[in-house]
Chain A
Amino acid sequence: MKLQTRNVTAKRAARRGGKGNGSLSFKLYVLLYLLVVITVIFGVFNYSIDLNRKIDKLQREESRAKQEIFELERDIQALKVTRQQLTSWNHVNRKISAYQLPLRPADPQQVRYLAVKQVRKNVPLSAHARHDDLHGQFDSGR
């Protein structure tokens, strides 16, 4: 049985035209070829997995950032409303009473008017400035 089997194999190999040494190199070539192909496929596959992982990570970061922005916007909105509440006259008035701040209405007598003088042409500005400094007045500079 075993002899017959060997014979059949030998006959088939002979029919393909292969010899013992040629068959080995062919096998090595095929093996190498397969190895290269498998490595490339493996590499591409791994690269795509890595890319997916990165995409996933970025998406997580994006949604976290979006959520943070959303929460910050809500915080800003709440703070705006609170600011309006704290700056309302009713609130300020209550605080003035509570802390007994010695505030009083503005006295119109405190307002003083400054005379704005016309500067004569062809006279250096510094001369006016010196002159006005002496008299404690204000010049428009024109």
Chain B
Amino acid sequence: MRSCNDTMRFRIKFQAGILLLIFFALVVRLYWVQVKDHDSYLKEARKKYITSKKIIGTRGQIFDRHGNLLVGNMPCEEVFITPCNIKPQNDILVSRIIAGCVGMSFHDVYNKVSAKTRKQKQPDGSYKTVDRQYALIARRVPLLQTRRLRELLKKNDVSKGVHYKEDFVRYYPKGRLMSNVLGVTSPDKDNLLGKTGIEKVFDKILSSQSGLTTYGRSRDGRKLDTEPQTQENSQNGLDLYLTFSEPIQAILEEELDKACEKWNPRAVYAIMADPATGNIIAMAQRPSYDPNNRSVKNPLIYRTLVIEDMFEPGSIMKPLTIAGALDNNIVRPETRIDCENGVWIYKKSRLTDTHGYGIQDVTGVVRKSSNIGTAKIAIAMEKELLYKTLRSFGLGEKSGIELTPEQTGRLKKPARWDSLSISRFGMGYGVAVTPVQMLRAYCALANRGRLPQLRILDRRVDPVNNVEIRENSRVVKNIFKSPATGEQIVNMMVTVTEKGGTATRAAIPGYRVAGKTGTAHKLQNGRYVNKYYASFVGFVPAEKPAFVLLMTFDEPKGAHYGGVVVCPAWKAIAERTLKYMNIPPSTVVDATSDRQTRR
């Protein structure tokens, strides 16, 4: 018979055994969870509390050489909602607040806020109604507006369901200023892609690279330091500093607008460059556009006409031809040429001057802009030399400026010239140039023969560590063989703006202005028509030019001579620019008499 002690012992052992079994089962389960299925459980858990966020780098900004911002990134936000998280009784209030702050119509917002569900297609083809988790309200909302929106929603206790995402918008704080040169971008996934102008040419330098950060987060969305973070850093684009000067550009565009109002041309080009360095100081065209508002669909206004448009330059070509003749001793400044009293028949073709001139020296040919005199000089040069001269000034080839798509212009090889070509090419007919090519050629004249490489980029700067990469200017080649040629041709061009010249309206008291007017018929469908290009290219002070400025009006209304249409605008720009650059007059002006005259 079992004693009581035995029964107790049995019970204790039995219970201990059961506890041991349970403990063993727990150990097994623990092993199963912690070791065997560890990865799958960890993965499942991580899905819930690990999140990743894209870090978007910012595109490089564009400045002028003084550091004035031309293209920047304006911080803004994207506003979106989770309609299913907004209580139906708050729909009207939330819609009204959002519409008021973002500047949308109430109905548009209300339609989005009140659509709480949507139909979702199932694999079997049927549709199931699910909660609507996302609805975009507006992109690129300025920070001030989103801040007000947040405040109002919080004040009315209806913030839930309205979300914000940081964003940037490419912004042009100077509006229309330099718009055709700067160009525009368009969105490309998370980045911006340069479409035209500098934005396109330097797209690789300006572009940013996105990064990705992965981290653990708490229920309220905070980062948890207990979870290891992984981070691929984003890279910001480099900032560009251009050779342009914003104040001078503003002067140029202001005067250009005044001239456009007066002469109502089809298009206008104006470029200013420093001949010594080849730096482009200002560049403008009309028509142009406001890059912050691209609703106008006219494709012409989005083109960079100064590099894309070709035109027959007319008389502004003459100094190049005559410089070649001087340099090769074909003529000298005092060589006398019969200008045939304004009408000359060459190879059975009639060549005329605006006014009849008799015997003129070469300086007179330039001053009076005689077609006959220039044609005779060109004929004396012969085909090969004329072609070589014009090529040496960079005509018929790309100027090398960092803008696309640049045209090469048109300058036929001598083998393809007809019998009249030699009498026409030298005075700017039968040859097509871009405004940039012509400007470069005049830079060479201003430089006394040294042809510079035009450039628009001064330096690149890494905004993070301020490392600067400078782009150096360079002179490509020396055109003139004789050192005297440069001075001779410049002196001739100075007479153009003096009494008896064609550009007296471009003369600036106290300064020696060298330049040349040009008036060329337009060629349409193979025939010259009564439409004109009116131009003036000049530099000042002639002895040490601070800038070369080219202006061309395409089809001005009311008058068509370069000296009448272009020179007043050129003078206004040049005068203001000289004052801005603080360049003192080279000759003393009698201010007293000037004042008395004005009275």
The answer to whether B69 touches A109 (Cβ under 8 A) is no
The answer to whether A81 touches B74 (Cβ under 8 A) is yes
B69 contact set on A, CB distance < 8 A: 80-81, 84
B214 contact set on A, CB distance < 8 A: none
Task: Known contacts A1-B4, A77-B73; decide if A89 and B250 are in contact (CB<8 Å).
Answer: yes
The answer to whether A78 touches B75 (Cβ under 8 A) is yes
What is the distance, in angstroms, from B245's C-beta to the closest C-beta of chain A?
11
Query: From residue 69 to 110 of chain B, which have CB atoms closer than 8 A to chain A?
Result: 69, 72-75
Does any Cβ of A come within 8 Å of B225's Cβ? yes
- Which applies to chain B's interface (DSSP): helix, strand, loop or mixed? mixed
Query: From residue 152 to 189 of chain B, which have CB atoms closer than 8 A to chain A?
Result: 166, 171, 173-177
Query: From residue 380 to 425 of chain B, which have CB atoms closer than 8 A to chain A?
Result: none
Q: Tell which of A63, A74, A81 touches B173, judged by Cβ atoms closer than 8 Å.
A: A81
Closest chain B residue to A89, Cβ basis: B250
The answer to whether B579 touches A106 (Cβ under 8 A) is yes
Q: Tell which of B4, B73, B173, B254 touches A85, judged by Cβ atoms closer than 8 Å.
A: B173
Interface centre among B75, B225, B576, B591 (most CB of A within 10 A): B75
What is the distance, in angstroms, from B464's C-beta to the closest C-beta of chain A?
13
The answer to whether A84 touches B143 (Cβ under 8 A) is no
Closest chain B residue to A92, Cβ basis: B250
Does any Cβ of A come within 8 Å of B222's Cβ? yes
Closest chain B residue to A109, Cβ basis: B591
Complex CA–CA separation, A84 to B70 (angstroms)? 8
- Which applies to chain A's interface (DSSP): helix, strand, loop or mixed? helix
A84 contact set on B, CB distance < 8 A: 68-69, 72, 173-174
What is the distance, in angstroms, from B12's C-beta to the closest C-beta of chain A?
14
Does any Cβ of B come within 8 Å of A17's Cβ? no
The answer to whether A63 touches B75 (Cβ under 8 A) is no
Interface string of A63-84 (1 = CB under 8 A from B): 1000000000011011011101
What is the distance, in angstroms, from B532's C-beta to the closest C-beta of chain A?
30
Does any Cβ of A come within 8 Å of B247's Cβ? yes
Does any Cβ of B come within 8 Å of A48's Cβ? no
Does any Cβ of B come within 8 Å of A95's Cβ? no
The answer to whether B143 touches A89 (Cβ under 8 A) is no
The answer to whether A108 touches B591 (Cβ under 8 A) is yes
What is the distance, in angstroms, from A3's C-beta to the closest C-beta of chain B?
12
Query: From residue 43 to 79 of chain A, which have CB atoms closer than 8 A to chain B?
Result: 59-60, 63, 74-75, 77-78
Interface string of B127-144 (1 = CB under 8 A from A): 000000000000000110
Complex CA–CA separation, A67 to B223 (angstroms)? 12
What is the distance, in angstroms, from A110's C-beta to the closest C-beta of chain B?
11
Task: Known contacts A63-B222, A93-B254; decide if A88 and B173 are in contact (CB<8 Å).
Answer: yes
Complex CA–CA separation, A90 to B175 (angstroms)? 9
Write the residues of chain B forming the contact surface with A, with a CB cutoff of 8 angstroms.
Answer: 4-5, 68-69, 72-75, 142-143, 166, 171, 173-177, 222-223, 225, 246-247, 250-251, 254, 576, 579, 591, 595
List 11 interface pairs A-B (beta carbons < 8 Å), by A numbering: A74-B143, A81-B74, A84-B68, A84-B69, A85-B173, A88-B175, A89-B246, A89-B251, A90-B177, A90-B250, A93-B250
Given contacts A60-B222, A77-B73, 10 further A-B contacts (CB under 8 A): A77-B72, A78-B75, A81-B171, A84-B69, A84-B174, A85-B173, A90-B175, A90-B176, A90-B177, A105-B576
